[in-house]
Chains A and B, each alone.
Chain A
Amino acid sequence: MKLLTCPLNGPRNISEFTYGGEYHPMPDHQQVAAREWAEHVFFHDNAAGVVIEWWCHSASSYWFLAERNTISDQILRTFPADEIFTQRIDFEPAPEPTINATPTAGESQ
């Protein structure tokens, strides 16, 4: 049986967990180009070596992070997400683009 240690619940059978994808620092969603944002949301590096990944303990719906060596499939450590996310992230809407209401020459009123 393969075990994974949940930071909240302790060591559990790997079948109690769901993989949640690679962890990447989030770029500033208001400044970043669409391409870079799409890469952050959809694309994986699929690196060979030590990576940080999201995992979820399904029985408690607890999301946490794990350092895993993708070559040896060794879990090096698991840790709660608040080690990285120290404050709440709010998605403030981008300011509305200003519309120039003055008609240009040749345009009807």
Chain B
Amino acid sequence: MSSTTPNQIATNALRRSQLYRRHMAMSAAFEALTDSTVVSCYGTGEGELKQAQHLGLADLSTLPRAGFKGLGTPDWAAGQGLQLPVQPNRANLQDDGTLVARLSQTELLLASNLDGLSESIANISLGSQLPERVYSLPRSDSHSWLVLCGSQAAATLSKVCGVDLRPHKFANGEVAQTSIAKINGVLVRNDLGETLSYSIFSDSSSIEFLWDSLLDAMAEFEGTAVGIQALRDC
């Protein structure tokens, strides 16, 4: 009986991150999530929880996301059972852990929970017929998703972003659509329990540059990449 090695899990998956080669070079251990893979941990994973609480960067690009835009979007999404933030540039968590960010009065971004099994996204994406003035945005394909977490995350971001993202100025659930290391992106503060955490959604074509830039900025504060398991444990 042949066993599947972590590398085979990564190469055989239907969907893999654009950072896949970076992860392989860092001795990542992958885990399968439906039709995709995500980095579970790097090396043996020892001490990754502490690292995530101090300063860690995780790649969640293969987890499900969805986006909708148009004048009819808020009423339709509320009718689908989503609890929407009232103001633009705010985000909240649904009961199933799905992150819903309101990017303008008429635009939403949905990101899965850390198990990659978001009922909200599955239900809303299955409804094939969108009503008039609701348009689907392919956020899973167009955007990558990084999570920068830990007590030093705000200090790291201050090196690469002009918006004041310190915890006492930028509350949990706030959204900034801005330039991060010269890459346009949507940044959502979405704390993991007590751990400060920022989700960054940016153009997938430049993700290798952003990944390298953030790791470079993190080095000053002894930050490094962490797997999804450390985020779940936070």
Contact = CB atoms under 8 A, between A and B. Distances in A.
Partners in one complex: yes
A12 interface: yes
B179 A15 contact: yes
B162 A57 contact: no
Interface string B152-185: 0000000000110000000000001111000011
A36 interface: no
Interface residues of B, number: 13
B103 interface: yes
Given A8-B88, A12-B162, A57 B179 contact: no
B120 to A, nearest CB: 23
Contacts of A13: 162, 179
Interface of A: 1, 8-9, 12-13, 15-16, 57-60, 62
B18 to A, nearest CB: 20
Contacts of A59: 177-179, 184-186
Query: From DSSP, what is the main secondary structure of chain B's interface residues?
Result: strand
B104 interface: yes
B89 interface: yes
A-B interface, 7 closest residue pairs, ranked by CB to CB distance from nearest: A60-B177, A59-B184, A59-B177, A13-B162, A59-B178, A16-B179, A58-B184
Nearest to A58: B184
A54 B112 CA distance: 35
B179 A9 contact: no
Contacts, number: 33
Contacts of A12: 162-163, 178
Nearest to A60: B177
Interface of B: 88-89, 103-104, 162-163, 176-179, 184-186
A8 B90 CA distance: 12
A12 B179 CA distance: 9
A63 to B, nearest CB: 11
Contacts of B176: 9
Nearest to A16: B179
A57 B88 CA distance: 15
A97 B178 CA distance: 50
Contacts of A8: 88-89, 104, 177
Nearest to B89: A9
Given A12-B163, A16-B179, A58-B184, 4 more contacts: A8-B177, A13-B179, A16-B178, A59-B177
